[in-house]
Structure 1
Amino acid sequence: MAVLKRGASGAAVERLQRRLLECGFDPGLIDGLFGGGSEAAVLAYQWSEGLLPDGIAGPRTLKSLGLATVKDAWPDVIPGVSVEAVSEMFPCTPVGNIRRNLPGVCAALRARGLTDRPMVLMALATIRAEAECFEPVAEGCSRFNTSPRGHPFDLYDRRRDLGNQGAPDGERYRGRGYVQLTGRFNYARYGDVLGMGSRLVDEPEDASEPAVAGDLLAAFLADKEALIKRALVADDLGAARRLVNGGSHGLDRFADAFRRGERVLPA
């Protein structure tokens, strides 16, 4: 299925223009030429429908307009996500770790429909920032989670924003996996999203199992996909990183991996 954007022309553009007009978003002349009027109408429609406002009529926008079906092809760069390409994004990571864990991560992204280039780059850059070894890991003690005279992760124990209820919740629900899932609330929420019921709350260590960690990464990013893409359209990697981490921790690694990925992954 064609992606329609500024400069495109033909019958598909004319159909798009007519459909936008029917929906109340006037593109100007119905002439089959995708110019500034069509771009503005697409943008307005995307904002109205909660779609990524990029002015490009891609698969999701066309499907929303009734101009594409679920049978149409969706962007999929995963066939180009090779061990060699990802190794370029992870210059300090053992290749064996990437070879062992990359297939599961790609399968999880595909299962959530996150196969387009921006979201694949987001996922891989997030792994670089959170688990550069490309293995699902558990968070270690640091000055951000453990006080000078406290027990491990005591600064997390009563974090109401994380849903923690006191010791030992801080340590029990510390960051785990590729996305460093943290807090009782998130363990419960994403356990439900993954169809695991209370398993992650009862057995939080399972979040570090490779298959579960891949599913958690994909589910977490899917929840924030529209916001992430808006940040990426603006080329604001800091904002994209904050949507996962809540701050700028690991931003240097995230940005380095993302820029490397732009060079090595197919457009």
Structure 2
Amino acid sequence: MAVLKRGMKGAAVKRLQRELKSRGFDPGLLDGEFGGGTEAALMAFQLSEGLLADGIAGPRTLGALDLAKRADVWPDVLPAVTVQAVSEMFPSTPIRNIRENLPPVSTALAESGLTDKPMVLMALATIRAETESFKPVPEGLSRFNTSPRGHPFDLYDARRDLGNQGAPDGERFRGRGYIQLTGRFNYARYGELLGMGDELVRKPELASDPLIAGRLLASFLKDKEARIKRALIEGDLRHARRLVNGGSHGLDRFTDAFHRGERSISDLA
């Protein structure tokens, strides 16, 4: 059952119709005939899930409907994510850094179910864009976060979009880790998602711990997985990067790493 589309008939189509209806997307008669009603319901489901809304039930859509095993949708490529393969994505990074920090990243991706090639490449390319050293380092001073005569990170202090409440929030909740988690709001949200309660807010420096940084990266990407994957499927790396960074900072490194990874990480792990 690789693809179901308009004009097809049979038991597989009927299973598709039943599943769509059970999820609140009524295709009309459950007659096993893929007509206009089934197509419209399928497109509505795809839009709801952040999938490409083409009205065709391919592997990704069938997987989202639990009508195909995950392995049939996207193979697990983590076994192919070796130090050597990743070093080809990070040509200027000391290989010892990759050897030391790749294991907790891989473990976190596996725990979050981000083992398919698009999301693995997204994670690694994000690390390249945010911290090319492959170390979960804290954000440094720059003209974008510190005014000419201000205290460190004063331009973040009053950022309501980050949930900051004035000094010293700018410096306390500066970018950290592989994802460069920034702002009181994000420290609180992702700390909760990791089961840390308010510990990350009380001790924001923990976001630079390799184990926690790997989990934060995976959690952040998992939170936006549907939208990221849709952008990647459509080949829009700029939009995928924007979903993480909010802009195009590091896009050149991100794009270079992603394309290198397409070659160095095997689809058939």
Alpha-carbon spacing, 1:156–1:257, altered in 2? closer, same or farther (3 Å)? same
Provide the alpha-carbon RMSD of the alignment: 3.0
Indicate which of 8, 13, 18 corresponds to 2:14: 18
The aligned counterpart of 1:175 is 175
Tell whether the 8 Å contact from 2:12 to 2:32 is kept in structure 1 after alignment: no
Q: Separation in 2 of the partners of 1:183 and 1:71?
A: 37
CA distance 1:265–1:6, change in 2 (3 Å): farther
Q: Is the 8 A contact 1:108 1:218 kept in 2?
A: yes
Offset, 1:164: 0.6
1:76 offset after TM fit, Å?
0.8
Aligned to 2:59: 58
Checking the alignment, whether the CA contact within 8 Å between 1:130 and 1:178 is kept in structure 2 is: yes
Contact 1:25 1:44 in 2 (8 A): no
Name the residue aligned to 2:151. 151
> Is this contact kept in 2: 1:46–1:53, CA < 8 A?
no
Partner Cα separation in structure 1 for residue 132 and residue 92 of structure 2: 8
Counterpart residue number, 2:223: 223
The offset of 1:66, in angstroms, is 4.8
Structure 1 segment 16-95 matched on structure 2, within 5 A:
16-22=12-18, 23=20, 24-25=26-27, 44=43, 46-47=45-46, 49-53=48-52, 55=56, 57-58=58-59, 61-62=61-62, 64-68=64-68, 75-95=75-95
Amino acid at match of 1:95: I
Q: Distance in 2 between matches of 1:86 and 1:14?
A: 45
Could you tell me which runs of 5 or more consecutive residues in structure 1 were left unpaired when the two chains were aligned: 8-12
Normalising by the residue count of structure 1, what TM-score does the alignment of the two structures yield? 0.85
Q: Which runs of 5+ in 2 are unaligned?
A: 21-25
Shift of the 21–43 alpha-carbon distance from structure 1 to 2, 3 Å rule, reads closer
Contact 1:25 1:45 in 2 (8 A): no
Alignment of 1:117-196 (within 5 A): 117-196=117-196
- Provide the TM-score with structure 2 as the length reference: 0.84
Match of 1:263 in 2: 263
Question: In 1, Cα distance between the equivalents of 2:10 and 2:116?
Answer: 26
Report the Cα offset of residue 15 of structure 1: 4.1
Q: For residues 215 and 105 of structure 2, what CA distance do their matches in structure 1 show? A: 8
Deviation per CA, 1:169-216: give whole Å up to 9, x if none.
101100000000000111111110000011111110000000000000
1:206 aligns with 2:206: yes
Report the CA distance shift for 1:248/1:73 in structure 2 as closer, same or farther (over 3 A): closer
**Amino-acid identity (%):** 63
Displacement of 1:265 in angstroms is 1.2
User: Alignment partner of 1:192: what SS?
Assistant: helix
1:75 Cα offset (Å): 2.8
Question: C-alpha deviations, 1:8-38, integer Å up to 9, x for none?
Answer: xxxxx95432223444559xx969xx9xx9x
Tell me the matched-pair count. 254
- Pair 239,206 (structure 1): closer, same or farther in 2 beyond 3 Å: same
Q: Secondary structure at the match of 1:175?
A: coil
Residue of structure 1 equivalent to 2:238 = 238
3-state SS in 2 of match to 1:197: coil
Question: Structure 2 vs 1, CA of residues 43 and 98 (structure 1 numbering), >3 Å: closer, same or farther?
Answer: farther
- Does structure 2 retain, via aligned residues, the 8 Å contact 1:42–1:56? no
